[in-house]
Amino acid sequence: MSGRIDRVALLAVPGLAYLAVIYALPLLMLLAKSIQTAEGISFSEYRAFFADDYNIRVLLRTLRVAALTTLLALIFAYPTAFVMSRAKGPWLTVFLVAMVLPMSLGVVVKAFAWSILFRANGFINSSLQWIGLTEKPVRMLFTETALVVGAANVFLPFMVLPIYAVVRQMDRALPEAAASLGAGPFFRFFNVTLPLTLPGVVAGSAFTFSMAISMYVIPSLIVGERQQTLSMLIARSFLYLRNEPLGSTISAVLLGIAIFVVVFSSWLARRLGARS
Amino acid sequence: MALDQAKPTSRYLEAWGIGKSFKGTRVMSDLNFRVDRGELVSLLGPSGCGKSTLLRIIAGLLEGDEGSVVLGGRNITRFPAHKRNVSVVFQNYALFPHLTVAENVAFGLRARGVAKRATGAPVAEALSLVRMSEFADRPTAALSGGQQQRVAVARALVVGPDLLLLDEPFSALDRKLRETMQVELKSLLLDRGITAIFVTHDQEEAMGVSDRIAVMNAGRIEQFADPSTLYARPATPFVMDFVGLSTRIVGTVTSRDGEVITAETPFGLLKARSAAPAGARVLLGVRPELIEVGAGENTISSTLADVMVLGAKTVLHGTAEGEDRVLCELSGIRSGFARGQEITLGWKIEDTLAYEVPA
């Protein structure tokens, strides 16, 4: 059968060509800049990047913010996915629209709306002062907490939908079987429901984490220049410092983290999947 | 109505006054159901008759709106499922896909706080009971339907349940395997003295596995009796139709002589034992294997519409006038019958079932 071409596989050609020219090629050209120096190919840019304490702080902050954002989104998304999996007819539509609609609103609009909520004389502070919890306005805008809360909101759908897909597929008889075998609510959750929905949690966390480490608009609008993230460093290198080797080096670091997350999560998902 | 044959011995499981509505639709009201210790009982009926609802209420997977469930003297009505010690074997077996066969069987013990090390012996015993020992470390996805069912049974029994509930346990198996599994499971339950309730829509299965059968229809128990009574003396036309085949003939009572009525039917005058008064509409029924070719106490002439030689039996479909059909089963292979042939069929008065029906 040699020489015979799978005709269905041909359908992938336009997509692959598009990805090669628009995605892979420019990315490789950009990454190449990080090791091209005046003295030829060298990793001096990487050494310089990791030698600078400031860069390490930004890197750690980026990872911390992404991890906390993922965790917060997970806390809100997990129960939501269960409620959604039980919703029927018009209620399911309401849920899905509520998930998808805010994505089309755009982050900029959302971020400005939050700043109204979070600022010194904003709604939250007025409420806190009115109840008497604080006397002075609490600083919320331009803090990491505000960034995590805001980012978790933006990425929530990417956490909910994969978990929802897994929960919906789960056989409803399984928790019932567990109950009839004498398992109380906690035992049921930790030994049946959670392990069976873990693949959805892994997928949702991988999505959310990879988007959160590379977010630019949300931190720029909520915390501004005071607390940089990797993406902001990249933008600054290219736009203000005109330092292409530095920008592409940080890009490569970010890409490396993203690749690690994707590979690790698919390994984890396969391992979990192999058991079920 | 409900022909309850329960002996006043140990009423082990007692569900009484059970009522349930779904979204304002009443599906069950004032249902009473009793099972003795060690009995194998079936809930038999068409889909939507309420048999699964009753099973789920007994298991605690569904809350009844009214009524009580008492098991072994304990009122468990308000107990959640995990505190009832009632094991359920589900229709699709509901094995945990993320656990191995042995881990599935150990689940109930672990849930009861038994240490992992201590589950080994009882799990091994339960698996050998269902002849699945060599599959202990396999994932459940690799098992066939019959093997999955065995694991589900082992998992349900290893915890020593006070009551075992089985929801259509054989419906996912092919016919041959189903019969094997029925025999296997029945002797397993009888040997261990397990009290069990099967839910099924298959009358042969119900008759094969149970001491008594509750035939359910529209949320009520129409008759609760042993298989032979159910078959020979169905309490209602519904039970007659649902349990076994029968010829149905509708007629009007013309006269009565003691306990025996004579009814005018499309097949002529037929006699039966009944309390129906003269002028009443009656439904007469005869089991096909009780009809003989030739004369009897009740006799009809019929044209053979079809002859089917099935090996173990030969089935004759006879027509009279109009739509009415008569079904006759003769044992073994019989020759000498042909379509269109005129034959005389007869049966005994005492084999004629009779029900007064609304005019």
The whole-angstrom distance between residue B68's C-alpha and the CA centroid of its chain comes to 23
Contact: A181, B139; criterion CB under 8 Å: no
Spatial separation of the C-alpha atoms in residues B249 and B353, rounded to whole Å: 10
Closest listed residue to residue A99, CA positions, set A118, A84, A113: A84
Q: Using an 8 Å Cβ cutoff, are A160 and A77 in contact?
A: yes
Residues of chain B in contact with residue A190, where contact means CB-CB under 8 angstroms, are none
Contact: B82, A184; criterion CB under 8 Å: yes
Spatial separation of the C-alpha atoms in residues B107 and B210, rounded to whole Å: 28
Contact: A196, B111; criterion CB under 8 Å: no
Query: Does the domain at residues B247-357 carry the CATH identifier 2.40.50.140?
Result: yes
- Chain B contact for A106, CB < 8 A? no
A275: closest CA of chain B, how far (Å):
5
What is the model's pLDDT at position B134? 94
What is the model's pLDDT at position A18? 94
The token duo for B106 is 């150990």
Contact: B97, A276; criterion CB under 8 Å: yes
- Chain B contact for A89, CB < 8 A? no
Q: How many residues does chain A have?
A: 276
What is the model's pLDDT at position A33? 86
3-state secondary structure (DSSP) of residue A138: coil
Q: Using an 8 Å Cβ cutoff, are B289 and B269 in contact?
A: no
Spatial separation of the C-alpha atoms in residues A190 and B111, rounded to whole Å: 11
B124: closest CA of chain A, how far (Å):
18
Q: Using an 8 Å Cβ cutoff, are A138 and A128 in contact?
A: yes
Residues of chain A in contact with residue B84, where contact means CB-CB under 8 angstroms, are 180
Supply the DSSP string of B135-165, one letter for each residue: GTTSBGGGS-HHHHHHHHHHHHHTT--SEEE
Instruction: Work out whether strand B325-331 and strand B281-286 pair parallel, antiparallel, or are unpaired.
Output: unpaired
Contact: B98, A179; criterion CB under 8 Å: no
Domain ranges (residues) in chain B? 11-242, 247-357
Nearest to B108 among A174, A182, A184 (CB): A182
In chain A, the domains with their CATH numbers are 1-42 (no CATH), 52-275 (1.10.3720.10)
Nearest to A171 among B80, B92, B165 (CB): B92
Q: Using an 8 Å Cβ cutoff, are B33 and B54 in contact?
A: yes
Tell me the ipTM for this assembly: 0.84
- Chain A contact for B309, CB < 8 A? no
Q: What is the CATH number of domain B11-242?
A: 3.40.50.300
- Chain B contact for A181, CB < 8 A? yes
Nearest to B88 among A171, A177, A276 (CB): A177
What is the model's pLDDT at position B323? 61
Supply the DSSP string of A109-136, one letter for each residue: HHHHHHHHHHSTTSHHHHHHHHHTS-SS
- Which chain A residue lies closest to B155 (C-alpha atoms)? A181
Residues of chain A with pLDDT under 70: 1-3, 273-276
B117-127 residue pLDDT tens: 999 999 999 99
Residues of chain B with pLDDT under 70: 1-10, 321-323
**Which residues 105-164 in chain B show a CB within 8 A of chain A?**
107-108, 110-112, 139, 141, 155-156, 159
Nearest to A183 among B82, B98, B156 (CB): B82
The token duo for A81 is 């996915």
Contact: B98, A171; criterion CB under 8 Å: no
Nearest to A181 among B92, B97, B155 (CB): B155
Long-range CB pairs of A8-16 (<8 Å, 24+ gap) are none
The token duo for A168 is 């919906």
**Which residues 196-235 in chain A show a CB within 8 A of chain B?**
196
Intrachain domains B11-242 and B247-357 with the same fold: no
